Amino acid sequence: MTTDTVPLTLGFSPCPNDTYIFHALVHGLVDTGGLTFRERLEDVETLNRLALEGALDVSKVSYHALGFLRDEYVLLRSGGALGRGCGPLVVTRGAASMAELRGKPVAVPGRYTTAVLLLRLFDPSLDNLVYLPFHEIMGAVARGEVAAGVIIHESRFTFPEYGLSKLLDLGEWWEGETGCPIPLGGIVARRSLGREAVAAIDRALRASVVHARTNPGAAAGYIRAHSQEMSDEVCAAHIDLYVNDFSLQLGPEGEGAVATLLQRAEASGVIPRSTAPLFEV
């Protein structure tokens, strides 16, 4: 592939944190080292599956999916979602404890999401999983179609509107268990692009995050165009929760958190073992 003439396929979600982060990159507001991109906006589980099919050059993916992608893709150090106080929530209409959910249907937002990985690490016996698009989970729980649901994204701000209560914060559990922030989603690039191109993408992505943080409001129209059903307040809360210094650069703490998650997932047999280096450099 001649990356300086052929646009790279770039996948990310329409969620406010992603459109905020990628706005400057896809609109040519930062130096991309001659690379161009053709964006594709999809929900995170669709992105996971597209990457698993090898259909994207660069993509946001769940860290659970990364466990299946390491031979073909490398992780970038910028642009991802990793932090504290931002993990998936288990919500219910009536269950009083997680133990009550054993054997009962629990709705989860896609097979390869980090939410599913965390639930399996928390209690492997919770295996009656119902896979639903993330935005359908709260309704399914409220209607009694499932006993509980694992919610992500803006759902963590709106679940009380459905008459639901929080049973467990999986991110809080993870932090208490490991001391690490929770890795939710990262940006990957195809290994076959080569080290030089991967490094250029990572630099451009970091610059895009810097641009967003130093130009508040610049991406507002782009964010709003892809989140029309969300209030301005929820959009702002979404960005504040999922975009932080780890989005700028994973750093040693972030890289350690990712390594811990993948090691535990390997040890539990949830993802295959891999000897491929996680980063290009």
- Both 51 and 93 in a single domain? no
What burial class does residue 219 get, using C-beta atoms within 10 Å of its C-beta: 0-12 exposed, 13-18 middle, 19+ buried? buried
Averaged pLDDT for residues 10-31:
96
% the chain with pLDDT above 70: 98
On whether residue 279 sits in a domain, the answer given is no
- Both 95 and 173 in a single domain? yes
pLDDT value at residue 155:
82
Structure letter (DSSP) for residue 71: T
User: Residue 33: pLDDT above 50?
Assistant: yes
% the chain with pLDDT above 90: 88
- Both 14 and 136 in a single domain? no
Q: Give pLDDT tens digits for 102-146.
A: 999 999 999 999 999 999 999 999 999 999 998 899 999 999 999
On whether residue 272 sits in a domain, the answer given is no
pLDDT value at residue 1:
41
Measured CA to CA, the distance from residue 129 to residue 53 in angstroms comes to 23
- Both 52 and 102 in a single domain? no
Strand locations in the chain (E): 8-12, 37-41, 58-62, 73-75, 81-83, 89-92, 106-108, 129-131, 148-151, 165-169, 182-190
Helices 170-178 and 114-122: crossing angle in degrees, nearest 10, is: 60
| 61 assigned to a ligand binding site | yes
- Both 196 and 234 in a single domain? yes
Closest CA to 247 of 5, 43, 12, 1: 12
Q: Give pLDDT tens digits for 159-202.
A: 999 999 999 999 999 999 999 999 999 999 999 999 999 999 99
| 158 assigned to a ligand binding site | no
- Both 215 and 237 in a single domain? yes
The residue segments making up the domain with residue 44 are 8-82+182-267
- Both 213 and 232 in a single domain? yes
- Both 40 and 107 in a single domain? no
Averaged pLDDT for residues 151-164:
89
pLDDT value at residue 5:
66
User: Residue 153: pLDDT above 90?
Assistant: no
Considering the candidates 23, 64, 135, 153, report the single residue annotated as catalytic.
Answer: 153
- Both 148 and 258 in a single domain? no
pLDDT value at residue 230:
82
User: How many domains does one find in the chain?
Assistant: 2
On whether residue 280 sits in a domain, the answer given is no
Measured CA to CA, the distance from residue 250 to residue 73 in angstroms comes to 17
| 78 assigned to a ligand binding site | no
Contact 187, 79 (CB under 8 A): yes
Asked which of 133, 162, 178 is the last residue of a domain, the reply is 178
On whether residue 273 sits in a domain, the answer given is no
Asked which of 122, 148, 178 is the last residue of a domain, the reply is 178
- Both 33 and 159 in a single domain? no
Which residues 6+ apart lie within 8 Å of 198 measured at CB?
74, 76, 189, 191, 280, 281
| 60 assigned to a ligand binding site | yes
Number of CB atoms found within 10 A of residue 162's CB: 19
Number of CB atoms found within 10 A of residue 144's CB: 9
On whether residue 197 sits in a domain, the answer given is yes
Query: Model's pTM, two decimal places?
Result: 0.94
Asked which of 150, 178, 206 is the last residue of a domain, the reply is 178
On whether residue 281 sits in a domain, the answer given is no
Spacing of C-alpha 43 from chain mean position: 10
- Both 66 and 97 in a single domain? no
On whether residue 231 sits in a domain, the answer given is yes
On whether residue 2 sits in a domain, the answer given is no
pLDDT value at residue 2:
42
Q: Give pLDDT tens digits for 222-263.
A: 999 998 778 888 888 889 989 999 999 999 999 999 999 999
pLDDT value at residue 281:
55
Q: What CATH number does residue 106 fall under?
A: 3.40.190.10
Is 153 among the catalytic positions?
yes
Strand locations in 25-146 (E): 37-41, 58-62, 73-75, 81-83, 89-92, 106-108, 129-131
